[in-house]
Amino acid sequence: MSGHSGTYRLYHYWRSSSSWRVRLALHQKGIPYEPVPVSLLDGTSESPAHLERNPAGFVPVLEIPGQEPRRLTESLAILLYLEDSHPGTQRLLPEDPYLKARCWALAETINAGIQPIQNLPVLHRHSSDSEEQKAWAKHFIRKGLEVYETLCAPIRDRFSVGDQPTLADFCLSPQLYNADRFQVDWSDLPHLVAIEKACRELPAWNESHPDRFKPHDFKG
């Protein structure tokens, strides 16, 4: 039971890896939602309307319908909310406390250890030279993926933690998409290669893929 009537609204950007984490969870859990695009490139994310939704100017933001709509920022907090508010749906966290914490650690390896360092505002602050921005991003993405590879080794099966997808996978796969954008080679990390293969076989992966949300007039 979600405890409300109406449809969730997800403020997101098609190519944002943090947004894709939430789309993955919504599709995997079969929760209907209305996607609302917020461009990170044309100033929309810094508009007063969006800053009211999220003072960081970031996506995703999940709006919970109701008489007074409530909003959530931070993708991991959103995933936790969806997990706790929809108990009858596919679980994204293991029940075992140790594995649950290991799963969260994998998610944070990406959420705290990689994504913020390769986020656009950090790249722009680091350098105005696009090659230098790319080199910076590649360095931290590769290092973080190596950490993930080592951390998941003893607990993985088809997915990062056992044989069911968890929120760790829903952080990993979008980060691998970013790794490809920055031309980071991860083909020598066998656990990641196998887990990504399993993720791509999930219907939710295809349904939530960035290409499905790409604006028709996008050039770049």
83-91, 113-121, 146-154, 160-168 -> range binding ligand GSH (CB under 6 A): 113-121
Out of 47, 74, 117, 164, the only residue in the binding site for ligand GSH (CB under 6 A) is 74
Residues 6+ apart with CB under 8 A from 60: 10, 11, 12, 16, 18, 19, 21, 22, 73, 75, 78
58-66, 97-105, 144-152, 189-197 -> range binding ligand GSH (CB under 6 A): 58-66
Give the other-Cβ count within 10 Å of 165's Cβ.
26
Question: Tell me, what DSSP letter sits at residue 118?
Answer: G
SS3 115: helix
**120 touches ligand GSH by CB under 6 A:** yes
Q: Which two tokens stand for residue 54?
A: 């999220």
How many angstroms separate the CA atoms of 20 and 11, rounded? 11
**43 touches ligand GSH by CB under 6 A:** no
Which one-letter amino acid corresponds to residue 143? K
Decide whether 107 or 198 has the Cβ nearer to ligand GSH.
107
55-63, 81-89, 130-138, 200-208 -> range binding ligand GSH (CB under 6 A): 55-63
Out of 27, 50, 63, 75, the only residue in the binding site for ligand GSH (CB under 6 A) is 75
Which positions lie near ligand GSH, rule CB under 6 A?
A: 16-18, 40, 45, 58-60, 74-76, 111, 119-121
